[in-house]
Amino acid sequence: MQKKKNNEMILKDGRIVAFVLLFGSFVLYYLFTRMMEQGKPFKIRTLAPLEALPEAVGRCAEMGKPIFYMPGIGSSLSLSSGAYILAGITILGRLAHFAAKAGVKLRLFTVTIDAMPLIQETIKTAYAVEGKVEEYSDDNIELIANQSSLVSRYLGAVQRESPAAACLIGYLAYESVVLAEAGNVVGAMQISGTVNLYQIPFLVASTDYTLIMEELFAAAAAVSGDAGAVGPIAAEDVIKFVSLGIMILGMVLAPLGITFLVDLLGL
Amino acid sequence: MANQTIFDRLDKLDRRIYYWLIVIVIAWPLVSPIGLPITVKPSSRALYDGLTAVQEGDVVLIDIFMSVSTWPECMGGLVVETNTLIDRGARLVYLGNSVDVSRSWERLNELVPRLGTLEYGTDVVFLGYYTGADAAASQMAVDMSSIFPADHFGTPIDDLPLMSDANSASDYAMVLFTAEGEVKWIQQWGEPYGVPVAGMGIAMKGSALAPYLASGDIFGLAVGVRGAAELEKLAGMPAAATTTMDAISSTHLLFVILIVPANLPIIYNKIKGGS
Amino acid sequence: MSFVKSTAFKYIPILVFAVIIADYFFAIASLGSVAEVLRQFAVVISNIALGLGVISLLRIHGRNVQRRLEGRWQYSIVTIITFVTVFILGTINANGAQYTWAFNHVYTTLQQTMYASTGFFIVSSAYRAFRARNIDAALLLIAGCIVVFTNAPIGEVIWSGFPVIGDWLLGPGQLPGYRVLMLIAGFGTIVYAYRVITGNERGFFGGE
């Protein structure tokens, strides 16, 4: 874009296409959200880990054991971890609902201090909806100082209380393999989910069900069910197809020495 | 229980057995080193070449993101980086997003006594801990003094001659990350300002960092203890990481050997025709 | 407060997003200044969150002690005493001998111990997971073994082909998959940003 004589706004070099794509995405998200609000039924496909939540709670009810939940580490205000912790807490809401219904004790371990009010509110609301608000107790929600302390506390709690199921859903780091293995030692059914790329192999190997990458957001959207959550997920499918098309086109053009696409995307 | 075969026992092997095996195979090479040769990977060589290409007077930003728990993996490499950059006459600015960064700084000074011989404030500065991750990195690219009005020791930034020459991204020759936190430097310094980015990652992150290396977002990468050992070899200063490689070898070998008893029950069941 | 939450708090994220994004795409000097201030706000808020964390921690553990919560109140006392001790030492002199001792001989040791325990859990997890139950698991097992030998010098001693295959697996072998995952993570972040600026993300409002 040319610099105008009266020094009006100019687009920085190399960011024109990014600008167009970003706001094009927003327009798409808005359109799909509106379509859903007007009745178009976008449905998120069945996610096995989400379907396994009632099974996990049922197992705990049968065995008379608690279910453990860990929504990840980090801060809910952080760019790197916030979105995933909040997604984990959304899924916690559904789990709390099942746990309240079945009379299963839900024990939660977290280091996310800033999300504590939200966690308490989420679980309390689930119990209230089931008419069992008197069974809710803040004592079942443990706030731990930091990551390493969380590991040792969780390990001890698993050994002493032997949960029949455990959920590790949120932003997970190195503690994921330790916590998952702790659950395996006591034979707990485990459901996990994270966006941290390098933790996914550990979780897939150690837990029974895993939400991989964006499935975490999709699961949170499926749980909340509202148009503002599901619409953008549906729009993302369109964006993914467009991206795939660009990649295939690039794969075809690159060996032919045609750099038109690369030049275009670099604008 | 009475009819348990050896394969059933292997299937449910008490984990304490292999925990003790791990302890033994880790301890043995540390007590009695073997000295297996280490081949240097191209990514580690690229990192080292980048360090040796630094010109005298260039300012290098080093992000000590590692906590004390990742010292075994990354401290060796950080020592090599620091020594190499001092040899090149670079000026060094250290900071960190980890709460124990001051402890890592002290440890670095213990392992690199030459750091103490540099003129503090002119050749080297330790800015200390910062919060804000991406927002802080983005703001530092524009104005370091807005994030660090003083260094870790409380000296006002204006009293540090080095920082007057290095207040924004364009003043830096490169950024080196340690353990984690590479994404914010790539996104906030590398892409917008073209500052070369490289560094070390913990072993877990090796795969996750490979795409950045392949696309050129980082110019070099040394991963885990092996990466640190490779840097030590390139620099000709074998130290803790090199010694640890023997323990890595023995543990990895045990790991693969344990796969045999782990799979014997499956093979046995398949031969028996069971599930 | 409800008006503030429903109106002002809803539009603040939109405003901040607009300024920061505009600063990224457009070269406008005045906008850059505003964006700088907002970024500094973000850093200040992160620092405030540290203080908030301390208050929350003391409050929750203090309540555990007050109510003599079974199985936990003793550890809460330890937490509070440790915190207060280190806090006082650090306030008096953050470079002092006592504070440094606490850092070196307690914190460092415990941190390294917990991180080191990961290795044991990885092996026990692998012993259970690396089993060739089917063709997919067998391929995973073989690839895992090759990569393990690629990382360890002994692999090259056993067979010189290990590093060659292993480097291919760690490079072109897994790059396409990882790039796709990173791309998807990026899309997810953009969706989250959209939800924040349109007011659909109520998580940090305490769920209201």
A110 within 8 A of A141, measured Cβ to Cβ: yes
Taking an 8 Å cut-off on Cβ atoms, the answer to whether B258 and C127 are in contact is yes
Ranges B235-239, C71-75, C169-173, most confident:
B235-239
Residue A6: predicted pLDDT: 40
Break chain A into its structural domains and give their ranges: 16-41+228-265, 48-223
Nearest CA in chain A to B99: A146
Give the chains touching C; criterion: ≥3 Cβ pairs < 8 Å: A, B
- The mean per-residue pLDDT over the stretch C130-151 comes to 87
pLDDT value at B72 more than 70: yes
Taking an 8 Å cut-off on Cβ atoms, the answer to whether A79 and B207 are in contact is no
Structure tokens at C183: 């791309």
| Interface subset of B 67-86, CB within 8 angstroms of C | 67-72
Backbone angles phi, psi at A126, to 5 degrees: -60, -45
Residue A4: predicted pLDDT: 41
**Residue carrying the six token digits 């699961």:** A219
Averaged pLDDT of chain B: 91
Q: What does the alpha-carbon distance between residue C194 and residue A231 come to, in Å, rounded to a whole number?
A: 11
Structure tokens at A72: 């990840």
Ranges B50-59, B208-217, C193-202, most confident:
B50-59
User: Which positions in chain A touch B208 (Cβ < 8 Å)?
Assistant: 197-198
Give the chains touching A; criterion: ≥3 Cβ pairs < 8 Å: B, C
- The pTM of this model reads 0.87
- Taking one residue from B and the other from C, the number of pairs with CB-CB distance under 8 angstroms is 145
Q: Which of A35-44, B52-61, B97-106 has the lowest mean pLDDT?
A: A35-44
Across the strands, what pairs with B92? B60, B124
Structure tokens at B95: 């900071």
Residue C100, amino acid? T
Taking an 8 Å cut-off on Cβ atoms, the answer to whether C127 and B18 are in contact is yes
Higher pLDDT, B72 or B52: B52
Nearest CA in chain B to C24: B192
- The mean per-residue pLDDT over the stretch B151-173 comes to 94
Taking an 8 Å cut-off on Cβ atoms, the answer to whether A197 and B135 are in contact is no
pLDDT value at B46 more than 80: yes
Kindly report the CATH class assigned to A48-223.
alpha beta
Over residues A97-146, the pLDDT tens digits come to 999 999 999 999 999 888 888 899 999 999 999 999 898 988 899 988 88
Count Cβ atoms below 10 Å from residue B5 Cβ, excluding itself.
11
ipTM above 0.90, yes or no: no
The answer to whether B52 contacts chain A (CB < 8 Å) is: no
Residue A5: predicted pLDDT: 41
User: Which positions in chain B touch C131 (Cβ < 8 Å)?
Assistant: 262-263, 266
Residue B274: predicted pLDDT: 55
Longest dimension (CA), chain A: 76
Averaged pLDDT of chain A: 88
Question: C208 falls in which pLDDT band (50, 70, 90)?
Answer: very low
Over residues C51-85, the pLDDT tens digits come to 888 888 898 899 999 999 888 899 999 999 999 99
Q: What does the alpha-carbon distance between residue B271 and residue A79 come to, in Å, rounded to a whole number?
A: 53
Residue A7: predicted pLDDT: 42
User: Which positions in chain B touch A185 (Cβ < 8 Å)?
Assistant: 15
Distance from CA of C26 to the nearest CA of A (A): 5
Over residues C1-14, the pLDDT tens digits come to 567 766 777 788 88
pLDDT value at B225 more than 70: yes
- A172-209 exposure pattern, b = at least 16 Cβ within 10 A, e = fewer: bbbbbbbbbbbbbeeebbbbbbbbbbbbbbbbebbbbb
Residue C15: predicted pLDDT: 87
Nearest-CB residue to B136 (from C43, C149, C163)? C43
Kindly report the CATH class assigned to B42-238.
alpha beta
Question: C184 falls in which pLDDT band (50, 70, 90)?
Answer: confident
